[in-house]
Structure 1
Amino acid sequence: MSTTQTSHPTHPSAPGATDAPARVVPFKMAHLVYRCRRRDETVAWYQQLFQANIVFKDDVLTFITYDDEHHRLAFFNMPDIPPKGADTAGAHHVAYSFRTIGELLATYVRLKAVGILPYWCINHGPTTSLYFRDPEGNDIEFQVDNNDNPGAYFRSKEFAQNPIGVEFDADELVLMWEAGATDAELCKVGTAATGKCSF
């Protein structure tokens, strides 16, 4: 149980209640569930991505987790469903944040060693991001905030001119990181740029 103290919303009819209702929102995102044509291959891919453990598996479902949550991802075994299409409505990608650029780059190195490579490496301005695609065609973003106030970048002239960002060479960024470049240097838009400007 969390030790964080939270205030409970006041019932509208309670003494001292105000006219404005309390704002009640979830305190965390718990898990994602995927429908899979290639369940076992997809589960193995996510185990590598997150260094995750299987907590339950039967003929229909698999649950995995990478922390103290009972499950972070679940996978339905549905081999007869049609494949995901690029022109199908639904989620575009799911993003996960790392604390530092070093953690992000260390994860890139670890995944590259097992053959999992990002299909897109881009500094968006607010974040430095690596995009991966799972065996079912779902996209995953691994990101790190580029500074302590990434939201300010959305209000900048630079963002208005290029709201997508500048692609970078992840291997070159790793070499800079290993050579002792600072987080600010590594996270600067244009560092290790490939010459492509994605806007």
Structure 2
Amino acid sequence: MTQTKVKSPSSLAHVVLRTPNFAVMNKYYKTFLGAEASYENEILSFLTYDEEHHRIAIIAVPGTGPKVRHSAGLEHIAFTFDTLDDLCLTYRQRKEAGIKPTWCVNHGPTTSIYYTDPDGNMIETQVDNFDTVEEANAFMASKAFAENPIGTDFDPEELIRRLQSGEDHVSIKKRIENGPRGLPEWAL
């Protein structure tokens, strides 16, 4: 039987990170995700924070060198939260633990806070800005998104102040349009 499209998976199960800094990375991801090890030894750790047996694995492979910043490969891993309140709570908790964001940006479809792990891998934490995939797709098909597919930077402390003032989540998540934009300097 000939099919025109390969059957898609039901979900993304996990990501494995190879590291020369096993102990530091293992501790970082446990803190960052509020995760615990479902299995762990001196070179391998399977971390879970939900119903899956592991979402992140950290492995120390002998001979692994440091990340080469401008090489091809995975750009970032993204984790979604249900609400802006949850995104801001985790921002504050991570800040308290000494983990500061690299970049805060409203992409349009998402409000996102990016971090950089000890090996230099990027991690995105996000909340969807639209209630449905159809609404997000419509925004991504818009002229505003075509003009600026990167997004508009924001100050997370200001976002928290807006939440605390009682401002509506829909208005907070609406991207401020400020014209064309390329990649941020730190990404180049």
User: What TM-score, normalized by structure 1, do the two folds share?
Assistant: 0.83
Partner of residue 84, structure 2: 101
Residue 21 of structure 1, CA deviation: 6.9
On the 8 A contact 2:84/2:127 being kept in 1, the answer is: yes
Q: Is the contact made by 2:147 and 2:181 (CA closer than 8 Å) also made in structure 1? A: no
1:89 aligns with 2:75: no
Tell me the SS of whatever aligns to 2:90: helix
Could you list the per-position Cα deviations for residues 65-114 of structure 1 after superposition, in whole angstroms to 9, with x for gaps in the alignment?
A: 10121111111113642110112111111111112212111111111111
SS at match of 1:103: helix
Where does structure 2 lack aligned partners over 5 or more consecutive residues?
Answer: 183-188
Structure-1 residue corresponding to 2:144: 158
Of the candidates 167, 170, 185, which is equivalent to residue 181 of structure 1?
Answer: 167
SS in 2 for 1:48: helix
Where does residue 10 of structure 2 map in the other structure? 27
RMSD, aligned CA = 2.1
TM-score scaled by structure 2? 0.87
Q: Answer 1 or 2: which has greater helix percent.
A: 2
Specify whether residues 99 and 118 from structure 1 end up closer, same or farther in structure 2 by C-alpha distance, changes over 3 A only: same
- Find out whether 1:52 has 2:43 as its counterpart: no
Deviation at 1:196, TM superposition (A): 11
- SS of 1:180 mapped into structure 2: coil
- C-alpha distance in 1 between matches for 2:143 and 2:18: 41
Question: What are structure 1's unaligned runs of at least 5 residues?
Answer: 1-11, 13-18
3-state secondary structure, aligned to 2:37: strand
- Provide the secondary structure at the position in 1 that maps to 2:70: coil
Are the equivalent residues in 2 in contact too, given 1:66–1:72 (CA < 8 A)?
A: yes
1: CA distance, partners of 2:113 / 2:84? 11
SS at match of 2:94: helix
Q: Hey, what does 2:157 align to over in structure 1?
A: 171
Q: What count of residue pairs does the alignment treat as equivalent?
A: 179
Q: CA deviation at 1:25?
A: 1.9
Which has the higher mean CA deviation after the structures are superposed, 66-75 or 22-31? Answer: 22-31
Higher Cα radius of gyration: 1
* Identical-pair percentage: 39
Q: Is the 8 A contact 1:167 1:196 kept in 2?
A: no
Does structure 1 conserve the Cα–Cα contact (< 8 Å) formed by 2:25 and 2:118?
yes
Residue 144 of structure 1: SS of its match in structure 2? strand
Match in the other structure for 2:120: 137
- The 8 Å contact of residues 104 and 154 in structure 2, kept in 1 or not, is answered as yes
